[in-house]
Amino acid sequence: MAKSEKLANSAMQLVFEPGSRDDDRVHVACASGHFGEFLQGAFHDQEGAVRRGLVTVPCTELWSRGFGRFVNKSDDIIAPTLKTKAGRAMQFYLARYAPAPRRAVQVVLESNIPVEIGLGSSTTDIVATLRVLDRLFGRCTSDEEVAKIAVSSEGASDATMFDDRVVLFAQRDGTILEEYGSTWPSLEIIGLNLAPSERFSTDANPPCDYEPAEVTEFDALRQRLRVAIRQSDANGLAEIAMRSAEINQRYYPQQNFPHLVALAAAMDACGFIIAHTGTVAGLLFRSCQTINDDGVKEIADRAAAFGASYHLRFAVGFHSIASEKPPAFGDQINA
């Protein structure tokens, strides 16, 4: 039996009643999280309107899994019950796409993503939920439809449903402002939590009201991003990320931000990223600067000295640091 099947079967024994019908099979779907943003701000669209948007830092080491099946119950169930945003997304999906009459469904979520530090836990739960519902009902909901449901369910969404392409995403509208292809410049990222004891609730913080000069600068950063992605320019992408972080520091001040800047310089990083609405940040290193274990330990020790903590090590743009991956989309486990 494959390792992912063993994991899933273990979870099923805890949360599902045994079934005997062919359609009692448990379906599995997964979604990756993110680790902050390369760029977040406000931009002019094609009609000249100012739209909020972001470019997410993908992180496959962070994930949510959705396990789904039909059940002989009177009501649909999502577990854990505290996953209220994923629950809203499930109800929206079922009302819109599930044929009637139908049996009730149960979706159980598990995730390795900490909440309220800027890693997109709620969006990732929603995407995993919608993907496993697609498996149950034989649909193939587009990423664009998933984005709309996510925004309807949580007000502002991350862009983790677009895990096969690089996009500038309007997080409060659920639409793509610009698409840049499917390949990132190669970067290794050492992720930190700048304020381990703090929590950030996006729902409790209003969106930034950027100055006109800042919107103009964000438009310029967007143009530079276009070039950096096309030319696979890791240094250029790092510069964009740092400037975006600096602008947003005025609106959502990151604890220990000056220490992050100093740490990046001390470790000869090509730049840094932050979660613009969260507490995590990361040092960026080009592929030719691969950091060994001693280097990671030094970063962790230096971060601990100013109250931050090491979180994880991952990469974009080339094969990631070895880690356990969630089961492939569409795995089926017979409970």
Long-range contacts of residues 220-229, Cβ cutoff 8 Å, at least 24 apart: 221/39, 221/41, 222/39, 222/43, 222/168, 222/178, 225/38, 225/39, 225/55, 225/168, 225/180, 226/178, 226/180, 228/185, 229/166, 229/180, 229/181, 229/183, 229/184, 229/185
Q: Going by C-beta distance under 8 Å and a sequence separation of 6 or more, which residues neighbour residue 145?
A: none
Q: Distance (Å, rounded) from C-alpha 256 to C-alpha 196? A: 11
Residue 318's pLDDT is: 67
Distances (CA, A) of 279 to 9, 23, 196, 314, 322: 34, 43, 8, 18, 25
**Furthest-apart CA pair in the chain: how many Å?**
63
Model confidence at 24: pLDDT above 80: no
Residue 102 has φ and ψ, to the nearest 5°, of: -150, 160
Percent of the chain's residues with pLDDT above 90: 76
- How does the average pLDDT of the chain come out, rounded? 88
Domain containing residue 286: CATH number: 3.30.230.120
Q: How far apart are the first and last CA of the chain?
A: 14
Residue 277 — very low, low, confident or very high, per pLDDT cuts 50/70/90?
confident
pLDDT digits (tens, 9 = 90+) for 177-231: 999 998 999 999 999 999 998 886 766 677 889 999 999 999 999 999 999 999 9
Model confidence at 85: pLDDT above 60: yes
Q: Distance (Å, rounded) from C-alpha 240 to C-alpha 231? A: 14
Number of domains observed in the structure of the chain: 1
Q: Distance (Å, rounded) from C-alpha 199 to C-alpha 274? A: 15
Helices 257-266 + 293-305 axis angle, to 10:
150
**Full residue range of the structural domain in which residue 47 is found:** 3-333
pLDDT digits (tens, 9 = 90+) for 86-102: 999 999 999 999 988 88
Residue 18's pLDDT is: 42
- Regarding pTM above 0.85, the answer is yes
Distances (CA, A) of 43 to 212, 214, 250: 10, 9, 18
Residue 204's pLDDT is: 65
Count of residues for the chain?
A: 335
Among 127, 86, 123, 326, CA closest to 78? 86
